[in-house]
Structure 1
Amino acid sequence: MPFAAVTYDIKPGFEAELAEIFGNFRRVKSDKVASETGEEAGRILSTAVFIRDDTLVRVIEYQGDLEAVARHMASQPGVREVEQKLKPYLSRPRETDTVEGFVATFQRSLLRTVAQISVRDLPTGA
């Protein structure tokens, strides 16, 4: 299963406030991600958020098409709520009020995957 990591440029010194925002995150109703035509395009398996100083990173474990995952996230009420609550703490604004803006910001904020290793990649019975 691939992972994606997205960065947020934040003002330092607000770790507790940011932890509270993500701690109160409303989960999505389903892990299934639909394409623009309504067909299943993937799944969001897990997420994690990390923070240090002026950098916040959201890691997403997913299956399927990453752009469809970003589009799905853009339409989720919990994600939209978090994006709104983050605005006062951002050192660099994010244009996430529309699906297109969210997807463009997601792609610009995406970290390059350098390595990814999982026990799930081992052959069965190894």
Structure 2
Amino acid sequence: MPFAAITYDIKPGFEAELTEIFGNFRRVRSDKVRTETGEEAGRILATAVFLRDDTMVRVIEYQGDLDAVARHMASQPGVREVEASLKPYLSRPRDTDTVEGFVATFRRSLLNTVAQISVRDAPPAA
């Protein structure tokens, strides 16, 4: 299962506030990711957020099409609330008020995958 990681450029010194924002996160309505026509395009399996100094990283484990995952996230009330709550703490603004802006920001913030290893990818033990 692939992982994606997106970065946020933040103002340092707000660790408690950022932790509270994500601590109050409302989960997405469903882990199933659907296209605009309702077809299943993937699933969001897990997310995690990491923070140090002026960098925050959100890691997403998913199945399916990453673009569809980004579009799905853009429409979720909890994600929209977090993005709005983060605005005062960002050192570089993010255009996430619309689905198109969120997806474009997601793509720009995406880290390149260098390596990804999981026991789920290993062949069964003999």
Q: TM-score by structure 1 length? A: 0.98
Give unpaired runs (5+ residues) of structure 2: none
User: After the TM superposition, which residues 1-126 of structure 1 pair with which residues of structure 2 at under 5 Å, given as runs?
Assistant: 1-126=1-126
Alpha-carbon RMSD across the aligned residues, in angstroms, is: 0.6
- Partner letter of residue 72 of structure 1? H
Three-state SS of the structure 2 residue aligned to 1:111 is: coil
Shift of 1:125: 2.8
Three-state SS of the structure 2 residue aligned to 1:117 is: coil
- Partner letter of residue 29 of structure 1? R
Q: What is the alpha-carbon distance in structure 2 between the residues aligned to residue 46 and residue 104 of structure 1? A: 22
Shift of 1:15: 0.5
Q: What is the alpha-carbon distance in structure 2 between the residues aligned to residue 9 and residue 76 of structure 1? A: 22
Give unpaired runs (5+ residues) of structure 1: none
Shift of 1:38: 1.1
Quick check: 50-59 or 27-36, which moved more?
27-36
- Partner letter of residue 23 of structure 2? G
Identity %: 87
Count of aligned residue pairs for this structure pair: 126
Q: What is the alpha-carbon distance in structure 2 between the residues aligned to residue 53 and residue 123 of structure 1? A: 39
Shift of 1:124: 1.9
Shift of 1:29: 1.8
Q: Deviations over 1:10-50 (max 9, x none)?
A: 00000110000001100012100001221000000000000
Q: TM-score by structure 2 length? A: 0.98
Three-state SS of the structure 1 residue aligned to 2:92 is: coil
Shift of 1:105: 0.1
Three-state SS of the structure 1 residue aligned to 2:95 is: coil
Shift of 1:55: 0.2
Shift of 1:52: 0.2
